[in-house]
Structure 1
Amino acid sequence: MSRGTAKTVLITGASSGLGAEMARQFAALGHDLALCARRLDRLEELRAEILAAHPDRRVEIRALDVTDDDQVFEVFRGFASDFGSIDRVVINAGLGKGAPLGTGGYAANRETAMTNFVAALAQSEAAMEIFRAQDAGHFVMISSMSAMRGLPRTMTTYAATKAGVAHLAEGLRNELHGTPIKVTVLYPGYIASEMNEKVAQSTPMMASTEKGVRAMVDAIEKEKDSACVPALPWAPLSLVMKHAPLPVFKKLM
């Protein structure tokens, strides 16, 4: 990857999976990093890895449980104070738990809803507080291909949260169109990560973490309004997911 215009990039859920790989790839592009997640030890390991490969990068880390509203604002404001400004916020932290509705799995569904939507709202508030004060910034929401249409069984709540955060970001884009604050929504398909390691054995469409995240980072760097990533097969599949008759869609799922 070649060095572009250097930015300060804040990534939540950065201790593993897509968040950690985004951090590696953004560092390779010349960006400084503000990384947060629950597991501080994993962040320390990631920071050491990135600085060993890119000694001229700046990497700040903070522990963050995104379901703690007060901590979200404290951490985001702390990073803004550390760097003086934040150029880009990637709202990436998420959870994949779930159970079919009405089967006794409410606790898991509620945890996913609180982490994926309510906590994302808190992160959005904290990010936009910084960007409005700066009158500049790039707001990036990591949604999912599951946001394209309501999904059955264990995916029902997860898909609903991902549709919710996509609409949250799209509402911001509507409001901020024509301003120096840009909004990107990404819809990743199957990209190998800790969250979906059980799926990895059952689908031929799984992209490696490095390849999948490369598509994500490319779309972010281009400040696209929205993108299905990787584009193949997910961009054409998005149309199928949205518009296929239900009997056909059920067979795909």
Structure 2
Amino acid sequence: MTTRNKILITGASSGLGEGMARSFAALGRDLALCARRTDRLRALREELLAAHPGINVSVRSLDVNDHQEVFEVFHAFRGDLGGLDRVIVNAGLGKGQPIGAGRFDVNLQTAQTNFTAALAQCEAAMETFRAQRAGHLVVVSSMSAMRGMPRNLTTYAASKAGISALAEGIRAEMTATRTPIAVTTLHPGFIATDLSAGAAKTPLMTSAEKGVRAMVKAIEREGADAKVPTWPWVPVGFLMRHLPLRLVTQVSS
């Protein structure tokens, strides 16, 4: 399997993005890291270069909801690293309120960030990969995409289901046309990050270290779809798909 040496990660200033950046740096990969919080990105860059002096780390400010900026930053990173081998569409929001509770603004922000902004990132990444006729697109979805979810998770789950379908559609085209561009959809379960800090405690929660390790392993395998960590989320995913909705929603309670 081809080694992907030049990796772009969005939402890299904290959480899973930051963790993946550390893991890929340890593997000797060159990194293009972007997020809104450039102070954290610069500190991360210094840390990674000190620990792994042989790699190249480029950082740039990016608000993924500025769609024109997405294309500009991805193009600039392509110049910084001399191409891109892998793009990890990771930036997202976990906010949400019950539908009809008077907080359309919150749900709209989540939908725009998790789906429309992800679409822009996929477009920008695939432009590069099509030009190169090579690359690996990774879309970070969620186990919540398996079914419709209640209360604060409704819009979040719908937006993640949307990007899962988006990634699958891109993969379908690459397969049908025999284009050598890999597409992987990650479905992380409950992983302890800044995003989940306010969530209720659950016995299914995985540490950030274990969660990131599972994600990186799945990315390196370049399979079409991965539920991470494998245990317990492969069997849980099966149950989520097949159990009656009233039982499935108890997982999110």
Q: Please name the residue that 1:136 is paired with.
A: 134
For structure 1, the residue ranges without an aligned partner over 5 or more in a row are none
**Cα RMSD after superposing both structures:** 1.1
Counterpart of 1:203?
Answer: 202
The CA deviation at 1:210 is 1.1
In structure 1, the residue matched to 2:152 is 154
Work out the number of aligned pairs and report it. 249
What is the SS of the residue equivalent to 1:195?
Answer: helix
Q: Deviations over 1:25-78 (max 9, x none)?
A: 011111110000000000001111111110111000000000001100000000
**Among 37, 62, 66, which residue is 1:39 paired with?**
37
Shift of 1:248: 2.2
Distance 1:116 1:250 in 2: 21
- TM-score normalised to structure 1 length: 0.96
Q: Counterparts of 1:111 and 1:165 in 2: how far apart (Å)?
A: 15
Instruction: State the match for 1:238 in structure 2.
Output: 237
Superimposed CA distance per residue, residues 215-244 of structure 1 (whole angstroms, 9 cap, x where no aligned partner): 000000010110000000000000111110
3-state SS, counterpart of residue 109 of structure 2: helix
Q: Quick one: distance in 2 between partners of 1:207 and 1:252?
A: 15
The 8 Å contact of residues 9 and 32 in structure 1, kept in 2 or not, is answered as: yes
Please state how far the C-alpha of 1:154 moved relative to its aligned partner: 0.4
Secondary structure of the 2:195 match is coil
Alignment partner of 1:95 out of 81, 93, 96: 93
8 Å CA contact 2:4–2:85 kept in 1: the answer is: no
**1:149/1:241 contact within 8 Å kept:** yes
Contact 1:6/1:30, CA 8 A, preserved across alignment: no
Aligned twin of 1:229: 228
Q: CA deviation at 1:153?
A: 0.4
TM (norm. structure 2) is 0.96
1:70 counterpart = 2:46: no
Q: Is the 8 A contact 1:98 1:109 kept in 2?
A: yes
**What letter matches 2:38 in structure 1?**
L
Alpha-carbon separation, structure 1, partners of 2:67 and 2:109: 15
> For residues 163 and 135 of structure 1, what CA distance do their matches in structure 2 show?
27
